[in-house]
Amino acid sequence: MTTPTTPTPTGTAIRLAGVSKTFSTSSGDVVALDDIDLDIPEGGFVSLLGPSGCGKSTLLRVIGDLVTPTTGTVEVAGTIAAEARRTRQYGMAFQAPGLMDWRTVRRNIELPLQVQGVGRAERRQRADEMLELVKLTQFADHRPRQLSGGMQQRVAIARALAMQPRVLLMDEPLGALDEMNREHLQRELLRIWRATGTTVVFVTHSIPEAVFLSTEVVVMSPRPGRIASRIPVDLPYPRTDETRLTDEFQAAERHVRERLHAVLEPTTAGL
Amino acid sequence: MAATRTAPRPSAAVAPPAAPPPPVRARRGASRQLGRTLRDLATAAAVIAMALLAWEGYKALGQATGDLVPLTSLPLPVATDDAAMPHVWQVLAALAGPASTASDQTLLAYYLQQTSVTLREAAYGLALGAAVGVCLALLMRQLPWLGRASMPWLVVSQTIPLVALAPIVVVWIGGAGFPSWVAVTVISAYLAFFPVTLNTATGLLSADLTHVELMRSVAASPLQTLLLVRVPAAVPSFFTGLRLAATASVVGAVVGELSAGAGLGIGRAILTAAYYYSLAPANLYAAVLVASLAGVVFVQVIALAERLVLSKREH
């Protein structure tokens, strides 16, 4: 599975139809998501981009069946989201690495397999494969706190991939890193994605990050959270640091930026 | 009350993929922990030495001024004659002397022997109290309504004066045909369970939300989330409670012995020394000294266990 293959979108991995989510708070109902329709192809890398409060994290959690939508349906890999979660189709990574400091790096990666009931020997073997994938083999027996923030995030990604999920859900996983680290991990993430062929849904508020990583950028608008526009990114893979300097990249970035600002303007005008 | 576990994470720059791993220091952890414990014991010894100096200084002052605050006619709060405040060396001499006229055992050996009985009761009491405390905390976590309903009663249980409760426990357990040390152990456990329950319950609630969400995302059962996330997250808080419980269990054992009537233990020895105070005042101080030092050692043993268990989480 470490052989790089070009992802070939074959079918629909995730399908949302008429999804809305209303949270009841003491100061009244808050519409976090309003009438979302979205298809994400198998093997795609789709970024959810938008200002804070646009519901992108909620949308990610709806896809992962961590938040139940008020209306609408979520299908993942041809079944409803609840069933997909029960049959362990998801890997998740969050803004905080969320590693357990009472476990070694390897045992952190083994955790989802342990939950799944995978035997000790196979667990270890799979964890070692994942460590190799994120290039942290020599840190297997370290404690999370012995690692830098970027390395911890790589361990979290390895953990998310340990069960070989159909869908990888990532909530601003690189948000807390500095720029150097961030670009380094973006390249790593693309390499891992191409190696595994997993469908990725990636929440971010960084335009260059969304453009660099994605096959498609979904721009969301706030209050209520809606999909404002869907922008395919046609830059060829593999994308490298040179890609960031090309006119095509910068044109794509400008295009996404314009759409995002179009979303923001009504709000700013109102202020 | 509970220890929080939000230590800052190292923000070192990312290492290039081929960076050599930093030297593993985990294996030296145990000896480092032992060194720390020895240093703590040395600090405790220094504090004791200063307390003894203060004792002798106060006594010398009182003897010089006729028990008056210097340059005034106000009396000192405590008289400084040898009956009220024996010299430190008189206490030490009493420890080195015979335990009784008919015995060739020294008083120190006798008190240490009695203390070992008390510490055994305290250790059993601590183990029993910790087990009950952890079970209660788990129950309260899994059944929140039970937690809310029972917490006021747990607080009440700790506000009943122990000296009032201890004789009842002694009567009940003695009546059931158990030896008196069992009653003392139960009284000790009664004091010990509360800090364990409180801190462990707090610890079980302190689990990282990211961890809980992660467990949900991989369809973990509630039991798996409890055992793999909440229980490990509660361990530092549990040890905070256990350290408080260790102190409480020694107090409980000593007070329990006072109520237990005939029997062994340093609590009984303190009571006997108090009866014969006018004949041998130094003996009472000697017994209290031995009991206090034993308590310090007991709590330090628990603290050492805590450090050994938690040392792996650091660095």
Optimal mutation site among B9, B223, B309, interface A, most CBs of chain A within 10 A: B9
What is the mean pLDDT of the segment spanning A30-46?
92
List the one residue out of B66, B90, B112, B34 whose CA is nearest residue B269.
B112
Structure confidence at residue A268 (pLDDT): 52
Cβ under 8 Å to A: B residues 215-244 = 215-220, 224, 228-229, 232, 235
Structure confidence at residue B215 (pLDDT): 94
Domain total in chain B: 1
Size of interface A-B (CB pairs under 8 A): 95
Residue A18 has pLDDT above 50, yes or no: yes
Query: For residue B175, is it within any domain?
Result: yes
Of A232-241, A262-271, B156-165, B302-311, the range with the lowest mean pLDDT is A262-271
List the one residue out of A75, A61, A13, A48 whose CA is nearest residue A216.
A48
Q: Is the dihedral of CA B285, B289, B295, B296 positive or negative?
A: positive
pTM, full prediction: 0.79
Report the alpha-carbon distance of residue B16 to residue A154 in Å, rounded: 13
More confident residue, A24 or B134: B134
Report the alpha-carbon distance of residue B223 to residue B214 in Å, rounded: 14
Residue owning tokens 């109520």? B259
User: Which tens digits make up the pLDDT trace of A86-102?
Assistant: 999 999 999 899 999 99
Residues of B in contact with A159 (CB under 8 A): 214
Structure confidence at residue A208 (pLDDT): 94
More confident residue, B73 or A199: A199
Residues of B in contact with A91 (CB under 8 A): 217
Structure confidence at residue B23 (pLDDT): 46
Contact A149 B14 (CB under 8 A): yes
Report the alpha-carbon distance of residue B86 to residue A141 in Å, rounded: 59
Query: For residue B30, is it within any domain?
Result: no
Say yes or no: B6 contacts chain A, CB-CB below 8 A: no
Radius of gyration for chain B, computed over Cα atoms and rounded to the nearest angstrom: 25
Query: For residue B12, is it within any domain?
Result: no
Contact A112 B228 (CB under 8 A): no
Query: For residue B287, is it within any domain?
Result: yes
Query: For residue B237, is it within any domain?
Result: yes
Does a cis peptide bond (omega within 30 degrees of 0) precede residue B23?
no
Contact B10 A169 (CB under 8 A): no
User: Which tens digits make up the pLDDT trace of B132-167?
Assistant: 999 999 999 888 898 888 888 988 888 888 888 888
Query: For residue B255, is it within any domain?
Result: yes
State the CATH number of the domain containing residue B290.
1.10.3720.10
For residue B72, count other CB atoms closer than 10 A to its CB: 8
Say yes or no: B11 contacts chain A, CB-CB below 8 A: yes
B158 three-state secondary structure: helix
Query: For residue B283, is it within any domain?
Result: yes
Distance between the two ends of chain A, CA-based, in angstroms? Answer: 51
Nearest-by-CA chain A residue for B314? A145
Host domain of residue B121: 115-310
Residue A167 has pLDDT above 50, yes or no: yes
In this complex, the residue of B9, B228, B312 whose CB is nearest that of residue A111 is B228
Residue owning tokens 């646009």? A54
Query: For residue B282, is it within any domain?
Result: yes
What is the mean pLDDT of the segment spanning A226-237?
92
Reported confidence tier of residue A267, pLDDT bands at 50, 70, 90: low
Helical axes B231-259 vs B180-205, angle rounded to 10°: 150
Query: What are the structure tokens assigned to A196, written together?
Result: 């595994």
User: Contact, B249 vs B125, CB < 8 A?
Assistant: yes
Q: Which domains, from first to last, does chain A contain?
A: 12-89+169-270 (3.40.50.300), 101-164 (no CATH)
Structure confidence at residue A10 (pLDDT): 58
β-strand partners of A203:
A48, A171
φ/ψ of A99, rounded to 5, equals -80, 155
The parts of chain B modelled with pLDDT lower than 50 are: 1-27
For residue A246, count other CB atoms closer than 10 A to its CB: 12
ipTM of the complex: 0.86
